[in-house]
């Protein structure tokens, strides 16, 4: 009986430690207020995500291996605190994807975002040189139609390039991660 007790105690302790690591020390544990006093230029969606934007990135699967590579051409426009960003992605498989985000920026830096494949509304915030956005995304039927909890973080680099890291979770378990860069398109 003592052995079973120690196995249960050990499993419980490992579960609690795993939860604490994920909640406070891992990617999902970041909070916008963590970046309020970060140095450098502040991220302003209306300025840094405006006009033609080019994007390159990779998607990692649940084992940490790259499962897809992509490039994207975006166009973002703003009318006051309301913005629209259209995205055209081309994947290494040859598949193409078109998306549209409708963005509303509050005077306090809060963000509300909607898109056809987003369940409900995405919620986020600008904070120092970062933007955080959380939402639930419904994958295409060809990808299983699953609904994933998504956390996006965009970090503004000193040269104006945006580094985007996103994690996708199902039942709290990370199933994919995306890393991409975004920058203004050079005039033709």
Paired with 86 in beta bridges are 75, 100
Which pLDDT score is estimated for 63? 92
pTM (predicted TM-score)? 0.82
Token pair 């973080």: residue: 153
**Average of per-residue pLDDT across 107-117:** 94
Residues 6+ apart with CB under 8 A from 110: 123, 124, 125
Which pLDDT score is estimated for 172? 87
Q: Are 74 and 52 in contact (CB under 8 A)?
A: yes
Paired with 81 in beta bridges are none
Paired with 137 in beta bridges are 118, 148
Query: pLDDT of 118-171, one tens digit each?
Result: 999 999 999 889 999 999 999 888 878 899 999 999 999 999 999 999 999 999
Paired with 126 in beta bridges are 131
Query: pLDDT of 67-87, one tens digit each?
Result: 999 999 999 999 999 999 999
Which pLDDT score is estimated for 34? 66
Given a cut of 70, whether residue 19 has pLDDT beyond it is no
Domain segments of the chain as ranges: 1-30, 35-184
Q: Are 129 and 155 in contact (CB under 8 A)?
A: yes
Given a cut of 90, whether residue 20 has pLDDT beyond it is no
Q: What's the start-to-end Cα distance of the chain, in Å? A: 74
Given a cut of 60, whether residue 104 has pLDDT beyond it is yes
Q: Using CA atoms, how far apart are residues 34 and 38, in angstroms rounded to an integer?
A: 8
Report the CATH fold assignment for 35-184. Answer: Lipocalin (2.40.128)
Which pLDDT score is estimated for 7? 72
Q: Are 63 and 71 in contact (CB under 8 A)?
A: no
Which pLDDT score is estimated for 186? 82
Query: pLDDT of 23-70, one tens digit each?
Result: 556 666 676 676 666 677 888 999 999 999 999 999 999 999 999 999
**Average of per-residue pLDDT across 177-181:** 97
Q: Using CA atoms, how far apart are residues 19 and 149, in angstroms rounded to an integer?
A: 17
């Amino acid at each position: 009986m003592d052995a079973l007790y120690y196995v249960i105690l050990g499993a419980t302790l490992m579960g609690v430690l795993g939860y604490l690591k994920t909640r406070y020390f891992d990617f999902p544990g970041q909070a916008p207020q963590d970046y309020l006093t970060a140095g450098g230029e502040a991220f302003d969606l209306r300025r840094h995500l405006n006009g033609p934007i080019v994007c390159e990135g990779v998607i990692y699967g649940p084992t940490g291996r790259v499962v897809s590579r992509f490039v994207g051409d975006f166009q973002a426009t703003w009318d006051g605190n309301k913005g629209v960003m259209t995205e055209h992605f081309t994947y290494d498989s040859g598949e193409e994807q078109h998306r549209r985000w409708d963005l509303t920026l509050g005077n306090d830096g809060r963000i509300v975002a909607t898109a056809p494949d987003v369940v409900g509304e995405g919620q986020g915030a600008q904070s120092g040189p970062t933007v955080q956005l959380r939402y639930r995304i419904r994958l295409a039927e060809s990808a299983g139609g699953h609904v994933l909890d998504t956390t996006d973080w965009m970090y503004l680099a000193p040269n104006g390039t945006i580094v985007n890291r996103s994690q996708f979770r199902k039942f709290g378990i990370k199933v994919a991660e995306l890393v991409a860069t975004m920058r203004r398109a050079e005039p033709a």
